[in-house]
Chains A and B, each alone.
Chain A
Amino acid sequence: SAVISQKPSRDICQRGTSLTIQCQVDSQVTMMFWYRQQPGQSLTLIATANQGSEATYESGFVIDKFPISRPNLTFSTLTVSNMSPEDSSIYLCSVEGLAGGPVLADTQYFGPGTRLTVL
């Protein structure tokens, strides 16, 4: 599988500020996703990061709060805007790629996550 890295690995932020999380993959992938894992809960999909177009957001998530960029096939960013303590979570990116490549289609591979604490 591909090597997926996220920066930062963790951060502690003040209420009202914004944090941008980066996801880098060492090979080109078709799909990139962003998930959230709140304390004691399971992973929830925030959005699909589309290369060259606006991200596709799941119900309950909006672009103003979670703007996403995907400038190319190996990189994406998620910004958590105007943070509140309720945004304290682990944020994970995942990727899915072309069949026959290093990242198989129809299977998502996950990055190490970014642990965010908002005070």
Chain B
Amino acid sequence: AQSVSQHNHHVILSEAASLELGCNYSYGGTVNLFWYVQYPGQHLQLLLKYFSGDPLVKGIKGFEAEFIKSKFSFNLRKPSVQWSDTAEYFCAVNPGYGGATNKLIFGTGTLLAVQP
């Protein structure tokens, strides 16, 4: 079955530390990849996405993610986190790109707490 794994369930960092959140998926075909973020009290927002082309994609607020096809991974990174990055981060995969899309398969989320 198609699945998305986020190995870090809770991450605690100090401000200015670097961040990397892992995401692996199990699907052998063409995929669209997404990272969503949910700040406390807010709804899910799109952080960044990868459809094709340069495997290193940049999103909002200084986040970036790298698609490594051979590893079925799409890890999220930020060189220096801020307290305002405290949120829950979800990796999502759309297997089967083409036209108006279909289901998104979500990982279980990673709760990031940044200590000032």
Question: Residues of A at under 8 Å CB distance from B?
Answer: 1, 30-31, 33, 41-45, 48, 58, 92, 94, 96, 105-113
Q: Which of B49, B103, B107 contacts A45 (CB 8 A)?
A: B103
Question: Residues of B at under 8 Å CB distance from A?
Answer: 32, 34, 36, 42-46, 49, 51, 90, 92, 94, 97, 99-104, 106-109
A45 near B44: Cβ-Cβ < 8 Å: no
Q: Which of A43, A105, A106, A111 contacts B90 (CB 8 A)?
A: A43
- By a CB distance below 8 angstroms, the chain B residues around A41 are 108
13 contacts between A and B (CB under 8 A): A31-B100, A41-B108, A42-B106, A42-B107, A44-B106, A45-B103, A45-B104, A48-B103, A94-B104, A96-B100, A106-B94, A107-B49, A110-B43
Query: Which 5 pairs between the two chains have the least Cβ-Cβ distance?
Result: A110-B44, A112-B43, A42-B106, A43-B106, A45-B103
CA distance A105 to B108 in the complex (A): 25
B103 near A105: Cβ-Cβ < 8 Å: no
Additional A-B contacts beyond A92-B43, A110-B36 (13; CB < 8 A): A33-B103, A42-B107, A43-B92, A45-B103, A45-B104, A48-B103, A92-B44, A105-B99, A106-B94, A106-B100, A107-B49, A109-B46, A112-B43
- By a CB distance below 8 angstroms, the chain B residues around A112 are 42-43
What distance in Å separates the Cβ of A53 from its nearest Cβ neighbour in chain B?
Answer: 14
B100 near A42: Cβ-Cβ < 8 Å: no
What distance in Å separates the Cβ of A106 from its nearest Cβ neighbour in chain B?
Answer: 5
CA distance A2 to B13 in the complex (A): 33
B101 near A31: Cβ-Cβ < 8 Å: yes
What distance in Å separates the Cβ of A91 from its nearest Cβ neighbour in chain B?
Answer: 12
